[in-house]
Structure 1
Amino acid sequence: MTDLAFSCTGVRPEPYGAGPTLLFRLRIEAADGARIHAVALRCQIRIEPVQRRYAPAEVEMLGDLFGEPDRWSTTLKPLQFAHASVTLPGFTGSTEIELPVTCTYDMEVASAKYFRALADGEVPLLMLFSGTVFTGDRGFVAEPVPWHKETAFRMPVKVWQDMIDQYFPGSGWLRISDDCLDSLRRYRSERALPSWERAFEELLRTAGPPAPDGTGRPADRIGGRHSGGHSGRGERP
């Protein structure tokens, strides 16, 4: 079986993508300079949060993912980031390609919450490979990429921040239930507020201090029922 070694040498934002996309630079080496006709490569990327330290402000922002800091010894579990695939053309010995990875800025997705919480430093990633290798000196032989093939990579947080600034400069996304969205629309319309940002600012200004039990204000402050579920619709502030 042909032995392939994988490494990640860099990452950059895709400058012309239809949506937020990162390009990971991969180097693939075939043992003994073997000739490879093609590779149908799949990659699963995981975040390894236990592999870095966190500033106090980051710890606070990560509370809804990992709980209180005294529990982090058991709650800092790997987070799913992305699945991606690419087809490599033929090469002999070694080659380099860019793996496009589509990203999300949906704050309901754990990976986006994690990235958003980080101020600087690096994101520890683990890239797990699978797929099919087409090789052979005479004709084609199809071989699987062994499941144990993987490589670690530390992605600068700034790369993620630059990508998001490129696609959503100075803004973010929220997803809420249909009931809550309809109530917010009525609230904004009744007060003739020019933007969603102004509507949220008005709500925050009039909300007052949190409830004594720390649970905050009830959802009916904006005229809707408790938004316990998600919907396919959302609004951009």
Structure 2
Amino acid sequence: MTDFAFTCTGVRADPYAAGPTLVFRLRIAASGQARVHALALRCQIRIEPVRRGYGDAEAERLTDLFGERSRWGSTLNPVQFAQVSVMVPGFTGEVETDLVVPCTYDMDIASTRYFHALEEGEIPLLMLFSGTAFTGERGFRVEPVPWDKEAAFRMPVKTWREMVDQHFPGSGWIRLPRDTMDALLAHRSRRALPSWEATVEALLHAAGGTAR
């Protein structure tokens, strides 16, 4: 059976994608310089929050995910980030390919809240691989990619922020139920407020809060 080794060599934000998208660069090596006709690869990406440190401001923003810092010994568990597939063309021995990961800036998603909470440094990721390999020098053989294949990677926080800023420069968005959105629109119309920003600021002011 062909043995495969996976390494993530880098990541970049895709400036031409229709939505926020990260592109990870994978290096795949087949044992014994094996001939691989094609590789149908699945990749699950998890965040490993226990593998980095956090400043006080970051810890405060992560409270809704992991609770108070005093509880982190039991609550700092892995967070699911993405699950994607890629078809790798034929190669012999070793190849590099792009793994395209569509992202979201929806703050209801745990991974997005985690990324948003970080100020600098790196994000510890673990990539878990599986799939099907089509191999053989003279003929055709179908082999599984074992579930125990994985690769650790530390993604710079600045790469995530660069990706977000390409699509939401200096801003963000939240998802609301339709009836809540209708009520906000009615409030904005009654007060003749010029923008959604002014609408939210007016509500914050009325509630005794502040908006920058």
User: Per the shorter chain, which TM-score range?
Assistant: over 0.9
What runs of 5+ residues in structure 1 fail to find an aligned partner?
A: 210-237
What runs of 5+ residues in structure 2 fail to find an aligned partner?
A: none
More strand by share: 2
Superposed counterparts of 1:196-235, under 5 Å: 196-208=196-208
| Letter paired with 2:45 | I
Name the structure 2 match of 1:87: 87
1:147 aligns to what SS in structure 2? Answer: strand
What TM-score, normalized to structure 1? 0.86
Compare 55-64 and 177-186 and name the one that shifted more.
177-186
CA distance in 2: counterparts of 1:135 and 1:33, whole angstroms: 11
| Letter paired with 1:166 | Q
1:160 aligns to what SS in structure 2? Answer: helix
Name the structure 2 match of 1:185: 185
Name the structure 2 match of 1:111: 111
1:146 aligns to what SS in structure 2? Answer: strand
CA distance in 2: counterparts of 1:53 and 1:42, whole angstroms: 30
Name the structure 2 match of 1:131: 131
Instruction: Pick 1 or 2: higher relative contact order, CA cutoff 8 A, min separation 6.
Output: 2
Describe the superposition over 1:50-107 as per-residue Cα deviations: whole angstroms up to 9, x where unpaired. 1100011101111111111111111111000001111111111101011000101100
Name the structure 2 match of 1:101: 101
CA distance in 2: counterparts of 1:43 and 1:18, whole angstroms: 22
Name the structure 2 match of 1:171: 171
Return the offset for 1:179.
Answer: 2.8
RMSD (Å), alpha carbons: 1.2
CA distance in 2: counterparts of 1:27 and 1:169, whole angstroms: 32
Name the structure 2 match of 1:232: none
Name the structure 2 match of 1:140: 140
| Letter paired with 1:49 | P
Q: How many residues align?
A: 210
CA distance in 2: counterparts of 1:140 and 1:18, whole angstroms: 38
Identity %: 66
